[in-house]
Amino acid sequence: MLVIEQLSKTFGDLTAVDGVSLAIPKGQMVGVIGRSGAGKSTLLRMINRLTDPTRGTITNEGRVITSLKGRDLRLWRASCAMIFQQFNLVERMDVLTNVMVGRIAHTGFLRAMTRSFTDEDRVRAIEALDRLDLVPQALQRAGTLSGGQQQRVAIAKALVQNPRIMLADEPIASLDPSNATRVMDALREINRTDGLTVLVNLHTLDTARAYCDRIVAMRAGQVRFDGTPDALTTEKVRAIYGSDDLSGDINEAVTSTSLSSHMSPEPFKAVGT
Amino acid sequence: MTALSPAIDRFELDYAAARRKALRVNTISTVLFALCFVVTAWIGGFFDMTDVTLSNGERVSMWKIWAGLPRLGEYLYKTLPVLRWETLDADLAEWFWRWKVWLRLLVETVLIAYMATLLGIVGAFLLSFPASRNLSPNRFVLNLTRRYLEILRTVPDLVWALIFVFCFGVGPLAGVLAIGLHATGALGKLYSEANENADMRPLEGIKASGGSWFDQIRYGIVPQVVPNIISYTLLRFEINVRSSSIIGFVGAGGLGQEIRVAMSLQEYTDLSALFLIIFVTVIVMDMLSEKVRHRIIGLTGRGV
C-alpha cells in the first residue's frame, strides 16, 4: 500500500501540489488526469523523489519514503521505476546498455564507471527487451529508434530495475496512436502479469477509462475526483477540465489516441493484393 | 512627394528619425574608437622619434618606425643561408649543421606537447564536471574548481616553466608540467562549457533509476560530450606543439633552447633553420589533427 498524506509542493509563489492524500493498494492501475499544470507530473516526481515535497509524507508498506537519504534513496528510486514523456534515454548509447543502466543502483562504483555490467544484468536486460519485442534493436543506438520503440526501451529499463511501483509521466503524449496503444498495452500487461502498482499520468480521458482501474483527477494541485472510470460522469469531467470559455461538452473522441475511434473500420489494404 | 496614406507618412517620419539616431551613434562610436587607438599607440611608443646618423655624418631626428623599418629587411637578410646550385649538398649541410641535435630536440618538443596534452586531458576531464553550473554538487565546489582552473590558465605557460625549472631543474620535465598545467586550465573551461550545453534529460533518466552523481555523469553526460572533448583536445595539442617549441627559452626542454643560443650568439642562419623546422612541424601537426578531427566529426555527425 502506497500512502500519500497531505503532500504539497510549492515553487516560489506557485503551489504545484496542494495537500494531496491518496492510498493506493498494491497492484492497482491508477490513471492521473487533469489539465496541463494541474500538478500531475510534480506528484509523480515526488513519489520517485526526483522532486522533494515541501510538506507531507509518503509511506510505502509502512516505510517512510520522504525522509530517505543516500543509498536508501537511490534504492527506493530503483524500486519505483519512472517513465518520462521524452523517454530520457541516453541517445548516443546502444539500447542494451540503456536497459542495463536500470541495474545501476545495484552496480558497484568501479563496474559502473567502466561500463562492465554483470552477465546476470545482461541476461535480465535482454529478457526485458524480448518481452517488449526489441531484441533485434538491442545493439542499435537508442537515438536511432522511433519514439514508440524508445518508450518501450524505457519500459524495459524500468522492468530490469525490478520495481514494485511503476510511475509513467505522460508516457504516450509524444507518440502516434498505434505506438501509444502498444505502450499502454505493455503497461497494462506489466500491471496484470507482474502485479506491479502502476501510476500513469494521462492527457486523454478515454485512454484512462480504457486502461485504468481507478482514476484520480487533479485541478490546481488538488484531487477533485477519485474513483472508478464509471463514476467519472460528464459533469465531473467538466468540473475538472472546464473553464468559463468551455461551455460545450467535452468530446473525448477529439483528444482520443485510441485507434478504433480514429481510423476507419476497414483495414488498409495495399493496392494489387 | 505625394501623400500615400497617413500610416506611410508616419512611417517616413519614424524612419528618418531612426536613421538620424543610427548615424549619431555610429559617428560618436567611431570617434571614440579612433581616440582610444591614438592614445594606445602613443603610450605604446608608435610616435616616438629617434636620432639617426645619415651617410654624410649629419645627425637628424627621425620617426622611429621609419628609421627602424630597413633593419627588419637587414635582419631577415642576415638569416638567409648561402645556397648555391653547384654546391647545394654542402650548403644545405652547412645550414643544418646541427641537424642531429635539432632532430633529437624536435622529437623532445613533440613528446613534451604530447605528454602535456595527456596531463591536461586527465586534469581537465575530472575538474570539468564540478566546474559545470548544471552538474556541480554545490556552489562552493563550483566556485572552487572554476577559480582553480582560472588560475591555471591565466598564468602563462612560460611563467609556469620558470617556476618548474626553479623547482626541478633544466629539462623537459619542467616543460611538460608547465604546458600540462596551462592546458588543464584551458581545456577544463572548454570541457565544462560542453557539459553545460548537454541535454539534461538522460541525466534525469539515470537519476530516476537510482544512479548516483557519478553514474549520472558517466552515462548521462560523458557519451554526449565525447565528440566535443576529442575535438577540443586535438586543437589543444596543436597549440601545445607551438608552446613546447619556445618553452626551451627558459630551459624547460625542446627546440627553444637552441633558438635562444642562436640568438645570443647571433648565429642568424641557425635561426632560419630552426624556424623552418618548427614551421614544418606545426603545419604537419595541424594537418594531421585536422584530418582526425574531421573524421571524428564526420563519424558522429556533430561539430564542435
Instruction: Quickly tell me which residue has 573551461 as its cell.
Output: B189
Nearest CA in chain B to A97: B219
Q: Residue A234 pLDDT > 50, yes or no?
A: yes
pLDDT digits (tens, 9 = 90+) for A5-39: 898 998 888 888 888 889 999 889 999 988 888 88
- Give the DSSP letter string of A140-180: SBGGGS-HHHHHHHHHHHHHHT--SEEEESSTTTTS-HHHH
Give the Cα separation of A144 and B102 in Å (integer): 52
Confidence of residue B297 (pLDDT cuts 50, 70, 90): low
- Cell of residue A167, nine digits: 510511475
Cβ–Cβ < 8 Å for B64, B49: yes
- Cell of residue A234, nine digits: 460528464
pLDDT digits (tens, 9 = 90+) for B159-200: 999 999 999 988 889 999 999 999 999 999 999 999 999 999
Q: Residue B256 pLDDT > 90, yes or no?
A: no
Q: Kindly state the average pLDDT of the residues A43-48.
A: 91
Give residue B18's pLDDT: 96
Closest CA to B176 of B89, B224, B248, B74: B248
Confidence of residue A262 (pLDDT cuts 50, 70, 90): very low
Q: Which amino acid is at A74?
A: R
- Spatial neighbors of B79 by CB under 8 A, at least 6 apart, are B268, B269, B271, B272, B275
B151: helix, coil or strand?
Answer: helix
Q: Do A88 and B209 touch (CB under 8 A)?
A: no
Choosing among A45, A77, A89, A92, which should be mutated to test the B contact, i.e. which has the most B CBs within 10 A? A92
Let me know if B58 is exposed, middle or buried by CB neighbors in 10 A (0-12, 13-18, 19+). Answer: exposed
- Taking all residues of chain B, what is their mean pLDDT, rounded to a whole number? 88
Mind telling me how many Å the CA of B232 is from chain A's nearest CA? 19
Q: What is the CATH number of domain B94-300?
A: 1.10.3720.10
pTM listed for this prediction = 0.78
Name which of A74, A76, A88 is nearest B205 (Cβ-Cβ): A88
Q: Residue B241 pLDDT > 50, yes or no?
A: yes
pLDDT digits (tens, 9 = 90+) for A100-140: 999 998 888 988 898 889 999 999 999 999 988 889 988 88
Q: Do B210 and A74 touch (CB under 8 A)?
A: yes
Q: Do B201 and A161 touch (CB under 8 A)?
A: no
Nearest CA in chain B to A50: B208
Homologous superfamily, domain A2-255: P-loop containing nucleotide triphosphate hydrolases (3.40.50.300)
Give residue A250's pLDDT: 58
ipTM of the complex: 0.84
* Domain residue extents for chain A: 2-255
Q: Residue A253 pLDDT > 80, yes or no?
A: no
Q: Residue A252 pLDDT > 80, yes or no?
A: no
Choosing among B199, B203, B204, B209, which should be mutated to test the A contact, i.e. which has the most A CBs within 10 A? B209
State the helix-helix crossing angle for A147-160 and A177-194, rounded to 10 degrees: 10
Q: Do A105 and B211 touch (CB under 8 A)?
A: yes
Q: Do A105 and B210 touch (CB under 8 A)?
A: yes
Q: Residue A210 pLDDT > 90, yes or no?
A: no
Give residue B77's pLDDT: 86
Name which of A87, A92, A102 is nearest B209 (Cβ-Cβ): A102
Interface of A with B in 181-240 (CB under 8 A): none
Q: Give CA separation, A224 vs A24, A34, A187, B246, in Å.
A: 16, 9, 25, 74
Give residue A259's pLDDT: 54
Name which of B208, B214, B219 is nearest A82 (Cβ-Cβ): B208
Q: Which amino acid is at A118?
A: T
Confidence of residue A243 (pLDDT cuts 50, 70, 90): low
B209 vs A contacts (CB less than 8 Å): 77-78, 81-82, 101-102, 104-105, 157-158, 161
What is the torsional sign of CA A80, A84, A90, A92? positive
pLDDT digits (tens, 9 = 90+) for B37-82: 999 999 998 888 888 887 788 888 888 888 888 888 888 888 888 7
Name which of B206, B224, B226 is nearest A104 (Cβ-Cβ): B206
pLDDT digits (tens, 9 = 90+) for A142-160: 888 888 889 899 999 999 9
Give the Cα separation of B55 and B64 in Å (integer): 17
Name which of A78, A87, A97 is nearest B210 (Cβ-Cβ): A78
Q: Is A153 on the interface with B (CB under 8 A)?
A: no
pLDDT digits (tens, 9 = 90+) for A163-174: 999 999 988 888
Q: Is A68 on the interface with B (CB under 8 A)?
A: no
- Spatial neighbors of B212 by CB under 8 A, at least 6 apart, are A74, A109
